[in-house]
Every structure is written in structure tokens, then in C-alpha cells.
Amino acid sequence: MPPIRSTILLLATGQGLLSINGVTLIAVSGLAGAMLADNPAYATLPVTGYALGAAMSTVPASWIMQRMGRRFGFRLGSGLGLCGSLLCALALWIHQFWLLCAGCLFAGFYNAFGQQYRFAAADAASEEWKSRAVSYTLTGGILGGVLGPELSKLTWNVLPVPFTASYLTLTLVALLSWMVMGQLHLPQAESDEKKLTGRPLGQIIRQPAYLVAVIAAVSGSGIMNLLMTATPLVMKGCQLPFQDAAFVLEWHVLGMFVPSFVTGTLILRFGVLPILILGALVNLLCVTIAMAGVSLLHFWGASLLLGIGWNFLYIGGTTLLTTTYLPEEKAKAQGLNELLIFLSQIITSFASGVIANQKGWQWLNAFAVPVILLTLSATIWLMIRSRKRASGTQLPYRSKT
């Protein structure tokens, strides 16, 4: 087996290419949808299609990888992403809104497979390296933060039909991902893993740590999707140019992934539960700034904090989740977690356009507050519960995960 650092480098590269795909899609698909949709409330449906595709394929992706191996699954996902980008470009060229939604659906398939990069890193790492392996793999997303918005700015009006060139460029990104994943070599699944045995899913779900891990990851992703899907549309409505929206998105994605250099170390030092609490508090601050005004500075500050909050909740939730299942249970445990994340993104991406169009930016941010408070309360409850039950012993999700 190659050294863990080489494996993480390849997985981080795959994560970066996936991030370029996702960031560019979010930057242009709402605006492309507004060009093609008859009703402006439906402008974010292509982004909903992206989340729907991921939700539809996340459980099959987990089973395929457990049966066929991670490398096969990652390359299959890249191929589906390539098909999706081509469909989106064709949809714009022939002016077909529902074909654009279908293309984003295929891009969502790519996203479902790609979200397994962090779990592949955790599987390949030793116990003391798990949180850092997950964290370092997600640093690859910085590529998306830097290149995604720049790619959208450079390509959105290259061809006569706006945004067509952006989607065509994403076919090259998916092809590069397919090539990179061909170099990945991970240990083969043990025979007991392939038998898909272990405890029933209901027993795994009833673990308090599993519940809090899922709540953290789902809320972090759902809130981020709710606010960021609408941000380019709201900024356009505030007469801010597309370049400003791309700038805000760039800093948002940097906020998502730059903290990954230290998040794993922070989890090792302070424990995963304090990091989840910190993530929820950062999200509350994000909403406060977003509701305070609609200037470029407000959008920038709120989006940056939204990315940081997601990072703490997503990495913390993933790390906590890995302590709650046996190797032969990982497909079902991980698959359900990913499915719930993508279901939240389906709901929030559709709701984002409807709420922003009918109620406005203030109401959109207000909808995030109860979810943030639920995450905060659940994490504090688990922290209190763990301290009562610890009896002087260290729980698996306290420090070294």
C-alpha cells in the first residue's frame, strides 16, 4: 500500500476537482436556470437537480464501492459528471430548461461518488490519523475556491449563449478526475466487509453519537446550500455585477476548505464536540451579518463565515460518525448519512429560490436559525451525557478519533 500521505494527496486532488465542478455549477446554474425558466421561482431547480442526483445515487454509490472498490466508484462518478456537463452545455445551446435540470442531475451522481473521498481517507488511516486524514483530504477543496469562481468569470460569456463554455470546461475537469483516480490504490475490502453484515441499521442509528454526527453534517450542508444557492440571485437583484457574486463565492469556498489544514488538529486537541459547537456558533454569526445588510461587504462576510461553519460541522460530523460503526457496517452507516445530507440539499435548494423570490433575503436567513439551534442543543446534550457516563474514561469521540 502506498504511504498514507500519497493516498491523501490523490484523494485531495480528487476532492479539489470535485469542488471546482460543484462551485462552478452553483455559480452559474441558478443564473442559467433564470435564463431558461418561464417562472423566476424555478430558477434554482437545476441546483435542486444537482442535489437530487446526489441523493438518488448516494446509497448505490456506497454499495458499489464496498463491492467493486473505491477506485472503480470514483472513476464511475467522474464519467457520470462528464456526461452531466455535456448535457448542461447542450441544454443552453438549444434553450431547454428541463434538459439543464437533467444535466445537473448527472452532475449530482458525480458528487455522490466524490463525497466518499473523505471516508476513503479515514479508511486508509490509522486511528490517530483519522481526523487529520479527513481534514487534509478536504483541503483539496481550496482548488474549487480559487479556480471555480475564476473559471466561471472567464468562461461565462465566451460563447454566444452565456454559460455554455462554463459547462464545457467542466467536462475537462471530470476527465482529469477520471485520470487522477486511475492512480489511486487503496487496500482491498476485507471479506467480512463485502458480506455487508454487522448490526441492523436501526441499532446503529439509535446511538447518540451517530445521531449528533448526522445532525451536524446535515444541518451544516443544508444551511450552506440554502443560503449559497440564493446568493448569486439576491446579489443580482441588488444590482451587484456577476464578478462580485463570483468574488463572494470564491471567499465562501476558501472558508469551507482552508480551515481543513487545522480542523483535524483542533479535534485531536479539544475533542470533536467542542468543534461542532464552534461550527454552530459561527453559523449563527453568519446569519446575523447576512441579516444586517445587503452590501458587498455583508455578502462577503456572511459567506466566508458560512464556509467556516460548514467546515467545522462537516469534518467534525464525519469524524464522529467514523466512531459509530464497524468496518462491515460502513456502507449502510455512511450511505444513510450521505443520503440525509443530499435530501436536505434537495429541500433547501428548491426552498432557497422560492423563499428568496417570495419572502426576501431576511426571511431566508431567518429559516436557518432553528436548525442551527437544534445542532447546538443536540451537541451540548451529547457532551453533558458523555461526561456523566465517562466515569473517568475517555470516550472514542472525545479526543483521539
Q: Which long-range contacts (CB under 8 A, 24 or more apart) does 175-181 make?
A: 175/78, 175/82, 176/17, 177/14, 177/17, 177/18, 177/74, 177/78, 177/81, 177/114, 178/75, 178/78, 178/79, 178/82, 180/10, 180/13, 180/14, 180/17, 181/10, 181/14, 181/71, 181/74, 181/75, 181/78
In a domain, 144, yes or no: yes
**126 and 7 Cβ atoms separated by less than 8 Å:** no
Q: What is the mean pLDDT of residues 333-346?
A: 85
Residue 206 is placed in which grid cell? 439509535
Give me the residue label for grid cell 431576511: 362
- Which of residues 273 and 47 earns the better pLDDT score? 273
Mean of the per-residue pLDDT values of the chain: 85
Type of residue found at 179:
M
Alpha carbons within 13 angstroms on the beta-carbon side of residue 286 total: 29
CA 158 to chain centre: 29
CA distance 115 to 55: 11
C-alpha to C-alpha distances, 282 to 221, 274, 303, 307, 383, nearest whole angstrom? 14, 12, 11, 9, 19
Q: What is the mean pLDDT of residues 80-109?
A: 93
- Which of residues 265 and 151 earns the better pLDDT score? 265
Position 401 pLDDT exceeds 80: no
Q: Which helix (H) or strand (E) is 64 found in, with range?
A: helix 45-68
CA trace torsion 182, 184, 186, 192 (10° rounding) = -30
- CB atoms closer than 10 angstroms to residue 234: 21
SS3 content of the chain, % helix, strand, coil (to 5): 85, 0, 15
In a domain, 148, yes or no: yes
CA-nearest of 145, 380, 123 to 276 is: 380
Q: Which of 198-207, 313-322, 363-372, 385-394 has the lowest mean pLDDT?
A: 385-394
Give me the residue label for grid cell 469542488: 19
Q: What is the mean pLDDT of residues 131-136?
A: 82
Q: What is the mean pLDDT of residues 178-196?
A: 70
pLDDT of residue 195: 54
Q: What is the mean pLDDT of residues 118-136?
A: 79
CA distance 33 to 93: 13
pLDDT of residue 391: 55
pTM, whole model, 2 decimals? 0.74
First to last CA, the chain: 22
CA distance 163 to 29: 8
Q: How confident is the model at residue 394 (pLDDT cuts 50, 70, 90)?
A: very low
For 391, the 3-state DSSP assignment is coil
Residue 359 is placed in which grid cell? 419572502
In a domain, 401, yes or no: no
In a domain, 397, yes or no: no
In a domain, 399, yes or no: no
In a domain, 119, yes or no: yes
Q: Which of 159-168, 256-265, 273-282, 349-358 has the lowest mean pLDDT?
A: 349-358
Model confidence pLDDT, tens digit, residues 205-242: 999 999 999 999 999 999 998 998 888 888 888 888 87
Q: How confident is the model at residue 196 (pLDDT cuts 50, 70, 90)?
A: low
CA distance 170 to 151: 9
Residue 156 is placed in which grid cell? 461565462
DSSP H stretches of helix in 322-392: 330-358, 361-366, 368-390
CA distance 285 to 199: 40
- Which of residues 139 and 191 earns the better pLDDT score? 139
Domain containing residue 124: 4-390
C-alpha to C-alpha distances, 347 to 60, 221, 239, 350, nearest whole angstrom? 21, 11, 27, 6
Type of residue found at 61:
A
Residue 204: which CATH number? 1.20.1250.20
In a domain, 398, yes or no: no
Q: Which residues of 66-89 are buried (b: 16+ CB within 10 A; e: fewer)?
A: beebbbebbbbbbbbbbbbbbbbb
**DSSP string covering 363-379:** HHHHTHHHHHHHHHHHH
Question: At a CB cut-off of 8 Å and minimum separation 6, what does 94 contact?
Answer: none
Name the domain count of the chain.
1
- Which of residues 28 and 313 earns the better pLDDT score? 313
In a domain, 156, yes or no: yes
